[in-house]
Amino acid sequence: MVNLALIGMGLVGSQVLKIIEKNLQKYKDQYNIDFNFTAIFEYDGALISDAGISVSEVLGSHNFRDLDYWKPGVQAIEAIPDTKADIIIDATPVNPDTGEPALSHILKALKSKKHVVTSNKGPFYLAYENIKEIAEKNGVSFGFESTVGSAVPCLGIRDSLAGNKIKKIVGVLNGTSNYILNRMTSEGISFNLALQEAQENGYAETDPTLDIEGYDAAGKLVILANHLLGWNKTIKDVKISGITKVNEDMISLAKKSHMEIKHLAVAKDGELEVSLKLIPENSALALGGTLNGVYLDTELAGEIIITGRGAGGSEAAAGIISDVINISRRYLLADT
């Protein structure tokens, strides 16, 4: 039995619950893992049961706060050490400036000798080395695949490339920016109209600053560089520019040259940059829609390119669940 605790029942957290509940038998048959939720934390309390919470009951209730499991006022940061969970899943929203509350949740869990899985990128572009050091000191692990590319295995590829040096990373790391640039290119519409479409389709936030100014992509680039290249960088080390200055004339000139304007994140020779670049229209990174992609230039295997849907609740949940399964198999089932 692998006991889980979830922090945050928003879009991603709810999808984690739904997918795990739907596939319980599959995980048991395929991986010999029985998953059991012992705590689900929200901002104003928590569902807690050492014996296990009925996820189907939680998902099927009109108001989960009316269930017997509900403990009003219980805060995750205080309850993490005493929860019976083996793995803490943090699905709280990103705070790009402080990484909170996820950073505190992660550190508290690791110090309590509990494994951690999260989709929250903030802690990892602000405090990766600290998280890594505390995890190693306490003999536990952390999974953060969903922080970059959601379910696209941008981080997990490191194990597959063991012994193979990665020399350069180039990525299309923000689906919102990619969507806007693609709409401007394919339809010849203005930046403002493309942004409005992105917001109406749910691809962009009401305040899209982090996406269109490049900060989201910069944070993801830091995570990739630190994990895949072994660097020790923070978002302050990234040279960042956004996409707001792109206009129809620039798009037209690029098309005449059979090029595309892309918002690329590049890690090379110790330098990090997020900026607009021209690439051939037949490039593997000339991705459509909201797709994400990562190009790796490796010493032994040459060029490797990973692409896929990098945004969405189910995609982020898929990355979380992959980490949960891998940690369970590697650390929690070894002695059974």
Catalytic residues: 220
Which position has the token pair 């953060």? 144
Q: What does residue 30 show for φ and ψ, rounded to 5 degrees? A: -85, -35
Tell me the CA distances in angstroms from 130 to 136, 148, 219, one per residue in order. 10, 19, 16
The three state secondary structure string of 209-248 is HHHHCCHHHHHHHHHHHHHHHCCCCCHHHEEECCCCCCCH
CA distance 38 to 105: 16
What one-letter code names the amino acid at 45? G
Residue 53 near residue 17 (C-beta atoms within 8 A)? no
DSSP string, 147-170: GTTTTS-TTTHHHHTTT--EEEEE
d(CA 33, CA 47): 22
Beta bridge partners of 113: none
Cα→Cα distances 48→95, 211, 297, Å: 26, 36, 47
Torsions phi, psi of 65, nearest 5?
-70, -10
Find the farthest-apart pair of alpha carbons in the chain and give their distance in angstroms, rounded. 65
Please, how many CA atoms are within 13 Å of residue 116, restricted to the half-sphere of its CB?
31
- 33 Cβ partners below 8 Å, 6+ apart? 2, 27, 325, 328, 329, 333
